[in-house]
Structures are given as C-alpha cells and as structure tokens.
Amino acid sequence: MKRKLLFVLTICLISLAACTKNEVLDTTKPVIFLTGGTTHMLVGDMFVEPSVKVTDNVDTDITYTKSGDTVDPSKAGTYTIYYDATDKAGNKADQKSFTVHVYAFSDNMNIVNGGFETGDLTGWTIEEINGSSDAFNDAFVIDTNNRKEGTYFFDGSKTDDNKVGALRSSNFILGGSGWINFRLGGGNDIQTLYLAVYRANDDTMVAKFANRNPQKYGGNEFLVGYKFNLLTIDGVNLGDEFYIKIIDEKLENWAIIKIDDVKTFNLTEPSGTTYELTINQK
C-alpha cells in the first residue's frame, strides 16, 4: 500500500515538473492577423490602416511593431508596411506585410463619353473605311435595354449589315491599375469586327478584342462585359497615351457591333460578375 502511494506521488511530481517545464519553454511563435485596410486609393483619399491582432499560445498582451513605408496619401506610389511581434519567450511571429497603391488621377485617364451617356457620339470621331463610315451615326446611340450600362449605348444594328466604318475615341493616359473594361454586342469576328487599343504617338495597335462570347446572355443583341489589363502587354507602361478604335469592316452575318461602358481608368480589377476576362487577339 505504501509502495503504491509512493508510485502515485512520483507520477504526480513528474507531471507537475513536465507542466512547469512546458510553461517556461514556450516555443510557439505568436501569429499576426491583418484585417481590412485601404489597398487601392487615389491621391487625396483617406488611407485606413488594417486592424492588427496578435494571438499567442501563452501571452495575451503582445504588442506589435511597424516598419517600412509611411503612407503619404498626397503622393502617388506603392507603400508597404511591415508588422512584427515577439512573445515573452522570444519567439518571433512570421512577419506580415500590407501594401497600398496610391494612384494619381487626372480626367484624361478616361476617354470622353465612353458610356455614350450624352445620348450621341460626343467625344468620338467617325472615320471612314474604304471610303464609307455608314456603320456609325449619332442616331444609333439608343436607350433600349440590351444589358447596357447607364441609359444609352451604341447600337450598330440600327443600320444594315453591309455598312462599314470606324469610331475613334479621345486619347487617354494609362493610369490606375491598368485595367480597362468595355461591353460589346453583335457578331464575333476578330478580323473585321473589333475594339482595338492604339498608341497615340505612332498609331500602332497594341491590343484587339472581339465579342468572343456573344451567346453569354442568349443572343448577339445582348452586350457582354469584358476586362483586360493593358499592363500585361510588353512595352506598355503607366503614363503612356492611347486611344480606342471600334472597327466594323464586316459585311454579312451579324456584321454589326454594339458598344457601351468603355472605361480606361480603373483603380482595381473590375468585378468578375459583370466583366469576364478576355484575351488580346492582336
């Protein structure tokens, strides 16, 4: 009986020693959590820092330190802040970083009347192809609903398939995230019916997009939203000057184009539910 008691006592002591030892030897590092915060903003907007939480297996009152950049909301640039924390046993948390992009914006980063909301072709220039520009006319800017954005869009089906022509936008300076978006309806033919992006200084085409998914909403009459990041093209940089051109050289079989919602400035990638990612078919 005495022996058994001694045995139990010994086990208890060992357990206690093990427990105490564990407390002293904390080898688990704390973890830093960042939530929210402004990741993309325009110069002059308010910057909100992410909220920071540090958890640990032992310590409940760990403070964190910050290093890296100090965000200056009045100056365009990319700023990165680093967060560190150490528990009382000296274990360092994995460093977390937070990056904010501050973009300068000027009106010339968007083309004029890219959504046709003036109800006509203000801001756009009609150009000829093979001596004709009949595919484009102020009268074809209408307000019926073919999955347009806003009130008006350009509807090439207001004239005949065999009409041709081109429509050139105002120039724009590439800014923000580099993402552009647009909505296209009508036929799918990259050779003769497309939206293109040209360099303003030498008129070279850098990108070309067709209405690749005209049946998305059940028919060519419905506008489909597309998005593309121009910065993925070799040699294209923020600050470069471009313009958009809409071409209709197609003569039959859904040989018209519908356009709306041409935006050349986006702070962030446009939403995936409205705009599907398209490819450069140049």
Q: Which of 133, 250, 125 is nearest to 190 (CA)?
A: 250
Cα–Cα distance, 73 to 42 (Å, whole number): 8
Closer residue to Ca ion, CB minimum distance, 142 or 255: 255
The verdict on 255 binding Ca ion (CB under 5 A) reads: yes
Cα–Cα distance, 64 to 94 (Å, whole number): 12
As measured in angstroms, the least distance from the Cβ of 153 to Ca ion is: 5
The verdict on 28 binding Ca ion (CB under 5 A) reads: yes
The verdict on 102 binding Ca ion (CB under 5 A) reads: no
The verdict on 127 binding Ca ion (CB under 5 A) reads: no
Give CA separation, 175 vs 102, 107, 262, 265, in Å.
11, 10, 15, 6
As measured in angstroms, the least distance from the Cβ of 273 to Ca ion is: 18
Cα–Cα distance, 67 to 57 (Å, whole number): 25
Closer residue to Ca ion, CB minimum distance, 101 or 158: 158
Region binding Ca ion by CB under 5 A among candidate stretches 38-46, 82-90, 172-180, 230-238? 82-90
As measured in angstroms, the least distance from the Cβ of 207 to Ca ion is: 21
Closer residue to Ca ion, CB minimum distance, 52 or 100: 52
Sign for the CA dihedral angle at 179, 122, 183, 168 comes to negative
Kindly state the tokens that stand for 198. 């040209």
Cα–Cα distance, 134 to 51 (Å, whole number): 57
Give the Cα-Cα-Cα angle 261, 266, 267 (nearest 5 degrees).
155
The verdict on 248 binding Ca ion (CB under 5 A) reads: yes
User: Kind of pairing, strands 179-186 and 257-263?
Assistant: antiparallel
Among 260, 262, 263, 264, binds Ca ion (CB under 5 A): 260
Cα–Cα distance, 81 to 135 (Å, whole number): 53
Region binding Ca ion by CB under 5 A among candidate stretches 36-44, 85-93, 137-145, 218-226? 85-93
As measured in angstroms, the least distance from the Cβ of 141 to Ca ion is: 9
Cα–Cα distance, 118 to 109 (Å, whole number): 19
The verdict on 31 binding Ca ion (CB under 5 A) reads: no
Closer residue to Ca ion, CB minimum distance, 149 or 178: 149
Closer residue to Ca ion, CB minimum distance, 87 or 155: 87
As measured in angstroms, the least distance from the Cβ of 87 to Ca ion is: 4
Closer residue to Ca ion, CB minimum distance, 149 or 155: 149
Q: Which amino acid is at 252?
A: E
Binding site for Ca ion (CB under 5 A): 26, 28, 56-58, 87, 115-116, 149-150, 153, 248, 250, 255, 260
